[in-house]
Amino acid sequence: MRLLIVAVGRLKAGPERELCARYLDRAGKGGRSLGLSGPDVIEIHESAARRPEDRMADEGAGLIAALPEAGAVLALDPRGAEMTSEQIAADLAALRDYGARQLTFVIGGADGLSEAVRGRADRLIAFGRATFPHQLVRVMMAEQIYRATTILAGHPYHKA
């Protein structure tokens, strides 16, 4: 199953980009033996619209256009369900075992996700109720994908 992150904004050079790349590399290496490929990243341009509603609509259109036609979509949204790392790993494994060819993680911009993106998602999840910069959310998502591969592999990295 191919893993994909579709995110608004570009990670600029710096510690967030380096950390994200490190986790994605580790997830890619660990995922191969688990039947996972990627994770790959598609970056969507941030909207320059003045109103938050217009920015969310513009970015939402870009996110939806980047989504593969088939496969599951998990979108990060503060109103989504809070999931443990074990639950994320179990969902990933269940989709893989069910025969899903793709799992896409969607990360919106600073204003959040449009209703169109929320409606396209199979599940909305949150990393708690606190507000985080979307650049950090991308690092957190990359780490959770890596953590899921370690959980599924039975690696001692994860200390439950």
Distance separating alpha carbons of residues 78 and 129, to the nearest angstrom? 6
pLDDT for the residue 73: 97
| Selected residue with higher pLDDT from 43 and 133 | 43
Q: Give the DSSP per-residue string, 52-73.
A: HHHHHHHHHHHHHHHS-SSSEE
Q: With pLDDT > 70 as the criterion, what percentage of the chain qualifies?
A: 98
Cα end-to-end span (Å), the chain:
25
| Type of residue found at 53 | E
Please give the structure tokens belonging to residue 1: 């199953």
- Positions at the binding site for S-adenosyl-L-methionine: 76, 108
Encode pLDDT of 103-134 as tens digits.
999 999 989 999 999 999 999 999 988 888 88
| Selected residue with higher pLDDT from 111 and 160 | 111
Mean pLDDT for the stretch of residues 8-26: 94
Distance separating alpha carbons of residues 46 and 65, to the nearest angstrom? 14
Local confidence band at 1 (pLDDT 50, 70, 90 cut-offs):
very high
Q: Indicate whether 158 pLDDT > 70.
A: no
Indicate the burial class of 81 (C-beta count within 10 angstroms; 0-12, 13-18, 19 or more). Answer: exposed
CA nearest to 135, candidates 3, 6, 7: 7
Q: Write out the H or E segment, with its range, that includes residue 97.
A: helix 85-98
- Positions at the binding site: 76, 108
The predicted model scores a pTM of: 0.94
> How many C-beta atoms surround the C-beta of residue 88 within 10 A?
19
Asked whether the beta carbons of 67 and 54 are under 8 A apart, the reply is: no
pLDDT for the residue 159: 64
